[in-house]
Amino acid sequence: MISVLTRHIQGSRSISLIRYGISASYSTGPIYSHHNNTGKTRTRQGIYGSTEVLNPYLTSDDIPTVELCSEVVDEFSSPYEFKSPIIILHGIFGSKSNNRTIARILNKKLTRDVFSLDMRNHGGSPHIGRHDYIGMAADVERWIKSRDFEEKPIIVGHSMGAKTAMSVVLRKPDMCAMLVSMDNAPVATQPQSSFPRYVKALLGIIEDPTMHTAQQAMEKLKSVEESVVVRQFLMTVLQKVKDEKTGEYRFKSRIPLGILNDAIVKGNIANWEFNPWVHRWTGPSLFIRGTQSHFIADEYIQDIGRFFPNFEIRDVDAGHWLNTEKPQECADLICDFVERHEEA
């Protein structure tokens, strides 16, 4: 059954929220509790920051960037017509390899190039002390400009990558054709308590000279994460190397865990500084949420509408790591979304 939600808020105006036919309204007041615009603003700060003025820092191009590592799936790409390529951004602790299954499905069904990127401080991309959404978005923008695509790309992101993708289209509204966010919303939240525990466990594995096998490492990770899928995902952070002193194999990290842990505990990963009064993107936007996850809670739907009025939401029976748990379902939703909007 299709449910209808209507809220009447003084000083509000209605927008269309495409969630199985749900309609809602939103307040146009200056303070939003789910946003944390605490950057270089010129107004008095509210409890979570004032959102009354444009923060030029958020859209600045004067930001140190790195050249991102990427790979492309093009086996089924059409040689006869130019199509919008798809760019996929992974989440924290991830890499471009996490999205290979989705990339292959999208390439085959949509017959276009699908690029997977390694974000800064992940995979094969360079390490840099700064790790926030403005910096990550600037990296992606640099990568897109360097490719000189014939058609505007479709940008897809999961978790940290989703907030980065949202940041790109808000910073550069003419750069992308469509947006897909997998299990993240444009809101500032409390930092995830599980992420620092993951870092601590991974560091424990790396620093333990008696840790030689994947089975030992998986057992260590079990103390902080019950899900086998998530533990296998975290194992991709580790790399086996031969200890020159003992001649035995042990683990090292592929990514700078110290930099990432610092970004997590400081709130950079959970943060969201953009202002819906001045930052809005009206292009087609799809939000895919895991029904077992809290990253796109019902109360965040109005926040999505403020930034991305032309949006829709689809649910997948999965947790936060839905791109790994249910890649086929996620890819099918993305294909349907892209085909409908390209035909319109």
Q: Which residues are catalytic?
A: 159, 320
Count the Cβ atoms, other than its own, within 10 Å of residue 245.
7
Spatial contact of 181 and 159, defined as CB atoms under 8 Å apart? no
CA distances from 54 to 73, 174, 215, 273 (A): 39, 19, 51, 11
> What is the dihedral angle through the alpha carbons of 36, 153, 288, 278, rounded to the nearest 10 degrees?
30
Helices (H), 148-273: 160-171, 194-207, 214-222, 228-235, 257-265
Instruction: Report the distance separating Cα 222 and Cα 194, nearest Å.
Output: 12
Three-class DSSP category at 117: strand
Instruction: Report the distance separating Cα 132 and Cα 57, nearest Å.
Output: 13
Taking CA 195 as the corner, what is the angle to CA 91 and CA 135, rounded to the nearest 5 degrees?
45
Spatial contact of 222 and 231, defined as CB atoms under 8 Å apart? yes
